[in-house]
Structure 1
Amino acid sequence: MSVVDIAPRPLVAAEGIVKRYGPTTALRDGRLTVIPGESHALVGRNGAGKSTLVSILTGLQAPDEGTVTFDGEPAPPLTDRDAWRTKAACVYQKPTVVPQLTVAENLFINRQPTGRGGFISWRRMQTEAVDLLDTWDVHVAPDAVTSELSVEDRQMVEIARALSFGARFIVLDEPTAQLDNKEIERLFDRMRSLQESGVTFLFISHHLQEVYEVCQTVTVLRDAQWITTAPVSELPRTALVEAMAGEAIADRVTMSRSAVSDDAPVLLDVRGLSSDVYTDIDLTVRQGEVVGLAGSSGSGKIRLAESLAGLYKPHSGHAQLAGNDLPFGDVTASLRAGVGCVPRDRHEQGMVSGMTIGDNATMSVLDRLGRSGFVGTSAKREFATDLIKRLDIHAEGPDQPVSDLSGGNAQKVVMARALATEPRLLVLINPTAGVDVRSKESLLSRMDSARDDGTAVLVVSDELDDLRRCDRVLVLFHGRIVAEHPAGWHDRELIASIEGVDRG
């Protein structure tokens, strides 16, 4: 008599998930099957659909099509938050605990145990917090103020809180992004221990070596749809990278223009720059050169670029632009030093929504448009009109409120302001994020023009199409530059460096 292996019933299953936001399809075929007690990795490039799928699996939004089940039963309705808390929880990069409260208060927020007269019983809360922390082997004091905990301990408090509701499916969204190597090892040890206690994890990370270290199964999303699910032990790293990159684009190469001459003067020279999130950075950008910075969300690439633009002050090291020291931590001084910047968030950092296109585009050059603090209206309109024409901003004119513009045209206004000062160094941070195809090409053309004019350009982007316009791309991993790819790189090679995969 033969024994037939029966596959365990999935703890979580998502089938045929479709989610649209207006004309944008964030997920067109989302699928996921997670077995009880495993750590299941969900990987994919930015924009692949991971965050959308997680929001559906944790009850933050409903799919337009498809089904989600927990242990074979349909997912609760969105309005039943108590039921969702017993099914799933997500621990995000940014903590959701209240930093001013103690650990015990965070564990029982909005459900504090009460005593006589219906008042909160602080003694009972402390006792129950100790029991909960002991049950899940979380080594923090219940009366500790949460803001004083390490990142890894805050994460464990969030996991314990989720488990206390009865949830046994925990999503970890980039949990290692702010941890050092020893903290990462401790987190993985805790994950393994919790798995043995019946907890199931969905692990999201851009660091693929972590997938192979802590996960048993991996699912790949690409271009808003499911690509493959496989046991980690049966999927070589090169195959995983190729699944993320896509065979159709893997061998597409970059540039057709001539390389920057080795004799071109170095405009930006960075030596030994270090901060909380990047370490010992050395880099140069020559006149008329475009250098890309690539890396995962926790690599330190954005903070490095923002430091060079004057937004932050590093702990150590120095940088010179055209032979003069860059004034870290002072945006106004950086502008005077010759740095132009397109920041990562055009709404929060790049524009003043209550002002006109002309006001936004010229605010960095007002001193050039008037004398003694007075700015001529006609001079400002003429300057702004020229910028609108040069950047092909589709608008009624410089007096139109910038809040009326589409995302692509609004980003062109931010680019116009950065170029208005005729910078020696142009820092672009995710310059084409959230814009349409035509606007993207227009913005990248302006980057090309700046290069041709002799500007040194530093571009940080998660979009491979942006990085293809670069003369070379530097890859940051855990705050250090670990690779340099000259123009002509293959997608799979760059992604392997970003994900920390040694292609040998």
Structure 2
Amino acid sequence: MSTPLAEAQGIVKRYGPTLALADGRLTVLPGQSHALVGRNGAGKSTLVDILTGLRAPDAGTVRFDGEPAPPLADRDAWRRRVACVYQKPTLVPELTVAENLFMSQIHAAGPAGPGLRGGRGPGGRPREEHGVAPRPVCRGFIAWRRLRGRAAELLDTWDIRVDPEARTADLTVEDRQMVEIARSLSFGARFIVLDEPTAQLDNREIERLFGRMRGLQDSGVTFLFISHHLQEVYEVCHTVTVLRDARWIITAPVADLPRAALVEAMAGEAVTAHAHTRDAVPTASPVVLDVRGLTSTAYRDIGLTVRRGEVVGLAGSSGSGKVELAETLAGLRTPTGGSARIEGRRLPFGDVRAALDAGVGCVPRDRHEQGLIPGMTVGDNATLTVLDRLGRFGFVGTDRRRGFAAELIDRLDIHTEGPAQPVSDLSGGNAQKVVMARALASDPRLLVLINPTAGVDVKSKESLLARMDSAGEDGTAVLVVSDELDDLRRCDRVLVLFHGRIAAEHPAGWRDHELIASIEGVDHG
């Protein structure tokens, strides 16, 4: 067996009374994609922080290529060994790709200086052989032409097809991820941690990302892949390590570990798939949402209804218009034509407050950017939609808010120290439950859910979907947009958008290949 590229043994980490890791272990061999999985709170983030030099372990060892990890203060040494591409991007959106790639190296020493750190490219050959010579950008003044040229060389070296002069904010999510990977490679790191890289991608984008990963692996790059989507582990990874309750549980070749066994290792118990079991919504049930001729640049002539107590899914690729349609109904966008009514009353567009007043609750697609205010508490975030109910004349009763928030915490089974805990302290699954709690707090007539289980663990996912089920059972009309087949299986019917139009409708009980064929525009006759 070759020397592990990265190895952690016996890692222990405490934060005050909290034991974040009791026995963290990981052995990653060069050239592989190694999955790290576990429920939120299992210790994955803590282990990644220690592997990337952001935290020191209280006990245990970390080694790279058989050598001890560098001192925590030596950031350059860490950058040469490992990098993490986080779910939340770290690029500066208003800068170009080239500026982001070399932002930390713009002030390199003069003409004889080291320039880019790390001297090996694909196949282990010196970087100069691949057209990315280790020379600095400038001294004092930025040589923009040289900066752009070096960026183009770096991207070409690793076969990353992104325009170095493009504004980063204009890139797709997958291209931004590849730019972050290229930036890591420019320092010499050949061990890249990907933290939930597919959470905001559709099926086609995921396949492209996996293809790029395989190409980089062939060039000598090794990945630690963190995902809650277990099917992806089987598609792209060679080996998987499971953490549970802050401890190492198992490391095994992916091919030798059936999906049921992997889920059981993560959960500590057998987890069975949930099928649609609710009774069909009567056709006489009143229509809550009535959409007619709704049109925008993303979708055209949309007509649909959702009845009281009905759960309707929206499926499609990223260019289908499904997310834009849902965001329109939640007040986040304005269409160019058509209408929508909630229980017979016109639904206002382009105004979130007005949509909320009309009876729409929403879980947006990105809890980091749209769903939470990180500087506020759990209670503050959960009750933002109902402040008018908790006080008079603009004043909010503290006790009433705390009590209402406590009820929501109990209702959603949010694992927290209480309403006063900062929401930024919560795991991903519990943070998403706070977003769901806020959407339900106003007792909406229509609940719009956009990727409601993205980036959460198995048990949190089941809890969130159970809340979706119970909302329908309570008489709420539910519209759920998701790329996850498990989410859509809970729906009474699924509408498929293709190139901005509703192309198919599948009643409960559909088979996977039927829905996927509709999403991809394949007609099975």
The answer, yes or no, to whether TM exceeds 0.5 is yes
What secondary structure does 1:30 align onto?
A: strand
Q: 1:170: how far off?
A: 0.9
Q: In the aligned structure 1, how far is the partner of 2:409 from the partner of 2:243? A: 34
Question: 1:78-98 CA deviation, whole Å, 9 max, x = no partner?
Answer: 222111101101123343233
Moved more, 410-419 or 212-221: 410-419
Q: Does 1:310 align with 2:331?
A: yes
Partner of 1:158: 180
- Aligned length in residues: 462
Partner of 2:215: 193
The residue type equivalent to 2:248 in the other structure is: W
Question: 1:401-435 CA deviation, whole Å, 9 max, x = no partner?
Answer: x9857879x9999999877866433568979x99x
Assess if the C-alpha contact under 8 Å between 2:260 and 2:270 holds in 1.
no
Equivalent residue in structure 1 for 2:351, among 324, 327, 330: 330
Partner of 2:388: 364
Question: 1:83-115 CA deviation, whole Å, 9 max, x = no partner?
Answer: 110110112334323333333332222322455
Partner of 1:32: 26
What secondary structure does 1:77 align onto?
A: coil
Question: 1:20-65 CA deviation, whole Å, 9 max, x = no partner?
Answer: 4455544443322110111222334444443333222212223344
Question: 1:314-354 CA deviation, whole Å, 9 max, x = no partner?
Answer: 7998754323453343122213312345775799459987x
Partner of 1:137: 159
The residue type equivalent to 1:321 in the other structure is: I
Q: In the aligned structure 2, how far is the partner of 1:188 from the partner of 1:324? A: 46
What secondary structure does 1:170 align onto?
A: strand
Cα RMSD (Å) of the superposition? Answer: 6.1
Partner of 1:96: 90
Question: 1:229-257 CA deviation, whole Å, 9 max, x = no partner?
Answer: 2223x236534553466462424989999
Partner of 1:109: 103
Partner of 1:265: 286
Equivalent residue in structure 1 for 2:61, among 43, 67, 86: 67
With over 3 angstroms needed to count, the CA separation of the structure-2 counterparts of 1:121 and 1:274, relative to structure 1, is: same
Assess if the C-alpha contact under 8 Å between 2:385 and 2:442 holds in 1.
no
Partner of 2:125: none
Q: In the aligned structure 1, how far is the partner of 2:434 from the partner of 2:166? A: 47
Unaligned 5+ runs, structure 2: 112-137, 411-417, 457-462, 520-525
Assess if the C-alpha contact under 8 Å between 1:18 and 1:30 holds in 2.
yes
The 5 A counterparts of 1:231-242 are 231-232=253-254, 234-235=255-256, 238-239=259-260, 242=263
Task: State the percentage of identical aligned residues.
Answer: 60
Unaligned 5+ runs, structure 1: 1-6, 395-401, 435-440, 462-466, 487-492
Q: In the aligned structure 2, how far is the partner of 1:445 from the partner of 1:329? A: 30
Partner of 2:120: none
Assess if the C-alpha contact under 8 Å between 1:93 and 1:175 holds in 2.
yes
Q: Does 1:216 align with 2:238?
A: yes
The residue type equivalent to 2:344 in the other structure is: G
Q: In the aligned structure 1, how far is the partner of 2:298 from the partner of 2:12? A: 36
What secondary structure does 1:364 align onto?
A: helix
What secondary structure does 2:215 align onto?
A: helix
Q: 1:69: how far off?
A: 1.5
The residue type equivalent to 1:74 in the other structure is: P
Q: 1:310: how far off?
A: 2.5
TM-score with structure 2 length normalisation? 0.63
Equivalent residue in structure 1 for 2:308, among 287, 301, 308: 287
Equivalent residue in structure 1 for 2:227, among 200, 205, 211: 205
The residue type equivalent to 2:356 in the other structure is: L
The residue type equivalent to 2:62 in the other structure is: V
Question: 1:205-240 CA deviation, whole Å, 9 max, x = no partner?
Answer: 3444443343222223344443332223x2365345
Assess if the C-alpha contact under 8 Å between 1:361 and 1:414 holds in 2.
no
Partner of 1:10: 4
The residue type equivalent to 1:55 in the other structure is: D
